[in-house]
Amino acid sequence: MSPLASYRRLFSLAGPLYVAIAFIGRLPLAMAQMGTLLLVAGTTGSYGTGGAAAGALAVTNAIGAPIAGALADRVGQRPVVFVQSVLGGLGLIALVVLAHAQVTPWIVILTAAVAGAAMPQIGPLARVRWRPITRNQQHHQPRLMEAAFSYEGAADEASFVLGPALLGLIVVVASPEIALLIAAAILLVFGCAFALHPTARLTHAHRPDAVTTARLVTGTFAILLVAQLLIGVVFGSIQTGTTVLTTDAGQSGLAGLVHACLGVGSVIAGLAVAALPARFGYGSRVLVAALGLALLSLPLLLTDTVPQLFAVVLVLGFVVAPYMISVFMLGERAAPVERVGAAMTLLAGATGLGYALGSATAGRLADVHGHHGAFAVTVGAAVTAAALATASQPALRRV
């Protein structure tokens, strides 16, 4: 089955409405962190407070996502995602109200943390639905699952390009407050629609005893968690380094566009992963992509102009999605079938924690060494990912 035929079969099985809902439903999470930063910094006059609120939202989402994923494995996605969507949407609305009420900053930060903890990780949960959706496809299921994870990887990358772009457009036309309220409305509508879609019923294994006894975090799965943590560090440090370089060049408005280039290359490569031959296993794919990360990140240390940065980041993006798709696919295979929801959200949470770690570390080094200090964190994380993939090949190839 060709990649194009695989994608057509997937979308016909799930239905175009589900595909649209699952994609649009993940945009609020992509909008929330930057929107919180702009909102709180604007209302308090402090970038420190804005950064603390945005960081609190990101970290609590990373911590809360696996908890929600494990609960969804027990009781089904429908009730969990529905409650998360309602609470997350209301949390963003409360954040806007309290930020304008000039309350004590710690209350605003706490509200952001609560909103982040409540917001669903729709991308990882959508991955869980594809195996039961394709269950009756017999010999085609392995290829369809590969196409599904390729699509989901590309969709996640696209959401983190379109989400901030949509946010920026609304901020320019209106304000950060309106942007966050629109994000809340999208979550309330499309998050709830994702929860209530008939595919949500397919994910419930109905085996509570297995859920309580099956072990999830094995040695192999721990390797995959570290692998995702490292790619998160790459994301966070690149965004910081890009912001520093464009600001120093007097073109700070281009920071978002530069970071979007990383996602553009990643989306293209992600969709193309479905064309890779089955004999090119996922363990080997992780290794090749990780080596590509290490090699293609090195030019960042020599990059001093915005045009150079555009080119380097665009090329680097072509190995990001293949790396993440392969790690998530290995995670889905390594996890017990009744705990796949927890596995996918745990990997997503590791990415979020890595993003926060990379951003914070790169920011400190950038204060002393400029954008080269931030990009040194990117290169260090990429080289570490390559070393991890090399050392763990025996374990990854057994999955």
DSSP letter for each residue of 200-263: GGGG----HHHHHHS----HHHHHHHHHHHHHHHHHHHHHHHHHHHHHHTT-GGGHHHHHHHHH
Is residue 260 within 8 Å of 348, Cβ to Cβ? no
Count of C-beta atoms within a 10 Å radius of residue 137: 16
The CATH number of 1-204 is: 1.20.1250.20
Do the two domains 1-204 and 211-399 of this chain adopt the same fold?
A: yes
> What does the alpha-carbon distance between residue 247 and residue 269 come to, in Å, rounded to a whole number?
29
DSSP 280: S
Residue 277, pLDDT > 90, answer: no
CATH superfamily assigned to domain 211-399: MFS general substrate transporter like domains (1.20.1250.20)
Query: What does the domain layout of the chain look like in residue ranges?
Result: 1-204, 211-399
> What does the alpha-carbon distance between residue 74 and residue 363 come to, in Å, rounded to a whole number?
40
Place of tokens 């570390």: 361
Is residue 169 within 8 Å of 8, Cβ to Cβ? no
Is residue 115 within 8 Å of 33, Cβ to Cβ? no
Q: What is the pLDDT of residue 214?
A: 65
Comparison of pLDDT for 385 and 165, the residue scoring more: 385
Q: What is the pLDDT of residue 381?
A: 97
**For the chain, percent of residues with pLDDT exceeding 90:** 44
Residue 162, pLDDT > 80, answer: yes
Q: State which of 22-31, 328-337, 340-349 shows the largest mean pLDDT.
A: 22-31
Q: What is the pLDDT of residue 1?
A: 66
Of 8-22, 84-98, 288-302, the least confident? 8-22
Mean pLDDT score of the chain, rounded to an integer? Answer: 88
> Distance from CA of residue 48 to its chain's centroid?
24
> What does the alpha-carbon distance between residue 334 and residue 331 come to, in Å, rounded to a whole number?
5
Confidence bin at 357 (pLDDT 50/70/90) = confident
Q: What is the pLDDT of residue 134?
A: 87
What sign does the CA torsion over 106, 182, 236, 250 have?
negative
Residue 252, pLDDT > 70, answer: no
Over the stretch 101-127, which tens digit does the pLDDT of each residue have? 888 999 999 999 999 999 999 999 999
Q: Which residue type sits at 162?
A: L
Backbone angles phi, psi at 187, to 5 degrees: -65, -45
Which region, left, alpha or beta, applies to residue 165 given φ > 0 means left and ψ of -120 to 50 means alpha? alpha
Average pLDDT of the residues in 34-41: 83
Is residue 388 within 8 Å of 223, Cβ to Cβ? yes
Q: What is the pLDDT of residue 211?
A: 47
Nearest-CA neighbor of 394 among 280, 319, 287?
287
Q: What is the pLDDT of residue 213?
A: 58
Over the stretch 39-64, which tens digit does the pLDDT of each residue have? 888 888 876 788 788 888 988 998 99
Q: At what angle do helices 306-334 and 255-272 cross, to 10 degrees?
A: 40
Give the CA distances from residue 223 to residues 113, 180, 218, 354, 394, in Å, rounded to whole numbers and listed in that order: 28, 36, 9, 14, 12
Nearest-CA neighbor of 347 among 258, 239, 249, 227?
227
Over the stretch 286-333, which tens digit does the pLDDT of each residue have? 999 999 999 999 999 999 999 999 999 999 999 998 999 999 989 988
Residue 35, pLDDT > 90, answer: no
Average pLDDT of the residues in 346-364: 86
Average pLDDT of the residues in 150-177: 84
Q: What is the pLDDT of residue 107?
A: 94
169 CB contacts (<8 Å, ≥6 apart)?
A: none
Q: What is the pLDDT of residue 264?
A: 84
Kindly tell me the number of DSSP H helices and DSSP E strands found in the chain. 17, 0
Q: What is the pLDDT of residue 210?
A: 46
Average pLDDT of the residues in 10-39: 90
Over the stretch 181-238, which tens digit does the pLDDT of each residue have? 999 999 999 999 999 999 988 876 444 444 455 677 788 999 999 999 999 999 888 8
